[in-house]
């Protein structure tokens, strides 16, 4: 059995996230929107039948197009072009735009300290300010921006820090077990 270690800074960020989420939820008293412990991060951003594999993990790597070493601040989930992209949790769309690197992308704020980013989309279905619910269709997998093929680039930001989505998911799943 392989032992997985988590960086102490990552653990502290996750604990701060949970504490601020509880405080925010208590203040907002709105269970239908922005209830982090109920809605995040259990929902995977792709339908199970569309997900093929993970082509790139979080961390430093040689960029396949730019050919230089840089941080890959998310994970790349391979899926067919046009596959549905789903919101990981309830939230508010902060960005729905085109940018050279990310191509068509969406940023959703789930509560004050947490955002998710969905990039290289073929088409986006939401606009800034829209409320989204967990599992809602927000766009379609594509290969816009700096991409070598159709996939979803997925990021999680906690306190403006980019974290490995796999470690965040594992941490939350452990606390729910």
How confident is the model over 2-12, as pLDDT tens digits? Answer: 555 656 666 55
| pLDDT tens-digit readout, 96-145 | 999 999 999 999 998 888 899 999 999 999 999 999 999 999 999 999 99
The answer to whether 139 and 121 are in contact (CB under 8 A) is yes
Token pair belonging to 43: 């929902």
Supply the range of the domain harboring residue 86: 8-176
Instruction: Give 22-56 pLDDT, tens digit per residue.
Output: 444 444 444 444 444 444 555 889 998 999 889 88
In a domain, 136, yes or no: yes
Q: Is residue 159 part of a domain?
A: yes
pLDDT at 71: 75
DSSP string computed for 109-128: EEETTEEEEEEEEEEE---T
Q: Can you give the CATH number for the domain in which 74 is found?
A: 2.70.70.10
pLDDT value at position 35?
A: 41
Kindly report, residue by residue over 52-74, the tens digit of the pLDDT: 889 888 877 677 776 788 878 89
pLDDT of the residue at 23: 46
| Count of the separate structural domains present in the chain | 1
Residue 98 lies in a domain: yes
Report yes or no on 34 lying in a domain.
Answer: yes
- Cα angle at 164 between 119 and 72, to 5 degrees? 55
Q: How far is CA 110 from CA 40, 67, 79, 103, in A?
A: 8, 34, 24, 22
Look at residue 2 and tell me if it is in a domain: no
Residue 165 predicted with pLDDT over 70? yes
């Amino acid at each position: 059995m392989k032992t997985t270690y988590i960086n102490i800074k990552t653990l502290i960020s996750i604990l701060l996230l949970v504490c601020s989420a509880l405080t925010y939820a208590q203040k907002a008293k709105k269970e239908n929107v922005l209830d982090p412990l109920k809605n995040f991060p259990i929902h995977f951003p792709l339908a199970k039948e569309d997900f093929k594999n993970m082509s790139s993990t979080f961390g430093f790597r040689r960029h396949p197009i730019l050919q230089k070493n840089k941080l890959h601040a998310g994970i790349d989930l391979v899926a067919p072009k046009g596959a549905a992209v789903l919101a990981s949790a309830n939230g508010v769309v902060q960005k729905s735009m085109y940018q050279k690197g990310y191509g068509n992308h969406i940023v959703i704020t789930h509560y004050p300290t947490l955002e998710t980013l969905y990039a290289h989309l073929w088409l986006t279905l939401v606009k800034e300010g829209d409320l989204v619910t967990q599992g809602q269709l927000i766009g379609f997998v594509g290969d816009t921006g700096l991409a070598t093929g159709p996939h979803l680039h997925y990021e999680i930001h906690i306190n403006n820090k980019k974290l490995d989505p796999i470690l965040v998911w594992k941490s939350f799943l452990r606390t729910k077990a």
